[in-house]
Chain A
Amino acid sequence: MAYDKPLPVPDPVTRPFWDGLKAHELRVQRCRDCNDAVFYPRAVCPHCGSRNLAWTVCSGRGTVHAFTIAHRGTPAAFRSAAPYVVAMVELEEGARLMTNLVEVEPSPEAVRIGMPVEIVFDDVTDTVTLAKFRPR
């Protein structure tokens, strides 16, 4: 069946991020002035106001910062997938991103804040790859 969930449409600034995932590489911007990681991709560093941002490749390792388990009230395209885990993962490099946890039981007993996770490149269509994470 065709993939029916919402797909991102890259813009000129975010394009390298999405191209990176397509190449199975997790790219995050870093500010050359304050050295902080920047996510989501921007034209300006939200930490210091610099425009001097560079793309860096991340390890794909991180930890669970927060999560919820979606049972009901999901967007229509996700209904049959429930229950599933939506989480914020904090990368080793410092950025936090929203994701789904996969290869883990969707229960508060199995998923723990602080749990180490690693990236899974999910090629959901021919053109779009999503960054998901599993326990490591």
Chain B
Amino acid sequence: MMGLSGRAAIVGVAESDAIGILPDKSTLQLVAEASLNAVDDAGLSVRDVDAVFAAGWRPTEVAEYLGIAPRYFDGTQVGGSSYVIHLGHAATAIANGLCEIALIVHGESGRSRVGMFPEGGGPQLPAGQFEAPFGLPGAVGAYAMACSRHMHEFGTTREQLAEIAVATRKWAALNPKAFVRDKLEIADVIDAPLICWPFGKLDCCLVTDAAGAVIVTSLERARDCRRRPIRVLGFGEGLDHQMISEMPSYVHGPGRISGPPAFAMAGVSHADIDVSQIYDSFTYTVLLTLEDLGFCGKGEGGLFVSGQRTAPGGDFPLNTSGGGLSYTHPGMFGIFTIIEAVRQLRHDYADHGPRQVADAVIGLVHGTGGRLSATGTAILGRD
């Protein structure tokens, strides 16, 4: 595994031309915009891309739209964590010479629903037989149910969950691209309309239209690119169920599987992480992940995030774009955790005051997909 650490690097990241509410743009158009913007960021051409990684859309559909005939592709689709997992797969393929310029892209007209890829299901599938008849509201109901168990076992409170939403909003206030930027108080989160108890509206991610793309290449090639390379130091992936009714423990997510190999491959410890991007589909997703990754002990997540520890100026800068809670969330957010991590590690915000985490050298990205089903963890480093 040590042979893979740092051999690949991220050289380009971008969103679609705009993100937010985009009723005049199809999902594939958003995908194309982000892809071209990311190769631009890298100083490359879309013609240079020889590997395609996609989920939601299939690699065939993305490659066809962009006119690419890749020699390597991967359509691992495990929800919003897919793109962090793709990053590890791309780094592995690049380190082994199977491809050289990898495009990881995801776009969704999640809000306007223009030209959306099909989303499956059916009454004879396990979920159709054993979950759908009971009306659990999608992802939000699933994560809420899991959260109820954490509250029961560890005394975690809605106020502690709200700390995450409030801190994330403070980061969003510093990001002109963020969808919502107005100030939040803990009481606003608690008093927001209930969606699925224990989650109110502000415990839940946004629904927007957006795309994001990331370009990965070998470290050698990266050093000839336009931007400072951000090395892929370590990565891991984990899953232990698909349906929420099958999750072995609602207080232990697959981050406990994906985290340790990422840290081991990178050869870094928790104290070395300068900035973290942890998929925040719901406030509980973050709290659980912090425990699963070992930033605190099991059951201590509520205490860990208290006192606005993850806000600007706090000692654990987290979701510095404003995250899925406040920046953007088209449906599957993982790609945006990588984009923000790279920008922080490149010091793109050096002239933007507290928006830049000072001297950030090592960053963690973590995606959670499905119903707390699958996770990908990656550790990135400034070259």
- Chain B residue nearest to A67 in the complex (CB): B148
Q: Is A30 an interface residue (CB 8 A)?
A: no
Q: Which residues of B contact A5 (CB under 8 A)?
A: 133, 135
Chain A residue with Cβ nearest B200: A71
Chain B residues in 8 Å Cβ range of A124: 133
Q: Are A68 and B141 in contact (CB under 8 A)?
A: yes
Which of B121-129, B231-239, B269-277, B298-306 touches A?
Answer: B121-129
A70 to B142, CA, bound (A): 10
- In the bound assembly, the distance between CA atoms of A73 and B137 in angstroms comes to 6
Residues 77-136 of A contacting B (Cβ, < 8 Å): 77-78, 81, 83-84, 86-88, 96-100, 108, 113-114, 124, 130
**Does B154 belong to the interface (CB within 8 Å)?**
no
Task: Note all chain A residues with C-beta closer than 8 A to B122.
Answer: 9
Q: A68 is contacted by which of B129, B197, B201 (Cβ under 8 Å)?
A: B197
Identity of the chain A residue whose Cβ is nearest the Cβ of B121 in the assembled complex: A6
A72 engages B194 (CB within 8 Å): yes
Asked if A70 contacts B146 (CB within 8 A), the reply is: no
Q: Using CB atoms, name the residue of chain A closest to B129.
A: A8
Q: Is the CB of B195 within 8 A of A81?
A: no
* Interfacial residues of chain A within 1-22, with CB under 8 A of chain B in the complex: 5-11, 14, 18
A74 at the interface (CB under 8 A from B): yes
Tell me whether B128 and A9 are in contact (CB under 8 A).
yes
- Number of A-B pairs, beta carbon distance below 8 Å: 114
Cβ-closest chain A residue relative to B138:
A73
Contact A99 B149 (CB under 8 A): no
Q: How far is the CA of A97 from the CA of B245 in the complex (A)?
A: 7
A8, A40, A69, A70: which contacts B133 (Cβ < 8 A)? A8
| Chain A residues near B152 (CB-CB < 8 A) | 66, 113-114
A114 to B201, CA, bound (A): 27
In the complex, the answer to whether B145 meets A72 with C-beta atoms within 8 Å is: no
Cβ-defined contact, B245 with A73, below 8 A: no
B197 touches A71 (CB 8 A): yes
| Beta-carbon contact of B197 and A69 below 8 Å | yes
Residue picked from A10, A67, A69, most chain B C-beta under 10 Å:
A69
- Minimum distance in angstroms from B241 CB to a CB of chain A: 10
B196 within 8 A of A: yes
**Beta-carbon contact of A73 and B141 below 8 Å:** yes
Cα A69 to Cα B201 in complex, Å, equals 14
Q: Which residue of A lies closest to B149 (CB)?
A: A66
The residue on A at minimum CB distance from B141 is A68
CB-based contact B135/A81 at 8 Å: yes
Q: Which residues of B contact A108 (CB under 8 A)?
A: 197-198
CB distance from A38 to the nearest CB of B (A): 11
B134 touches A98 (CB 8 A): yes
Residues of A within 8 A of B250 (CB): 66
Q: Are B126 and A40 in contact (CB under 8 A)?
A: yes
List 23 interface pairs A-B (beta carbons < 8 Å), by A numbering.
A8-B124, A8-B132, A8-B133, A9-B128, A10-B124, A11-B129, A40-B126, A40-B129, A66-B145, A68-B141, A69-B194, A69-B197, A70-B136, A70-B137, A70-B196, A71-B194, A73-B140, A73-B196, A77-B135, A86-B134, A113-B152, A130-B133, A130-B134
Given contacts A68-B144, A68-B145, 11 further A-B contacts (CB under 8 A): A7-B123, A66-B149, A70-B137, A72-B193, A75-B138, A78-B137, A86-B141, A98-B136, A100-B134, A108-B198, A113-B149
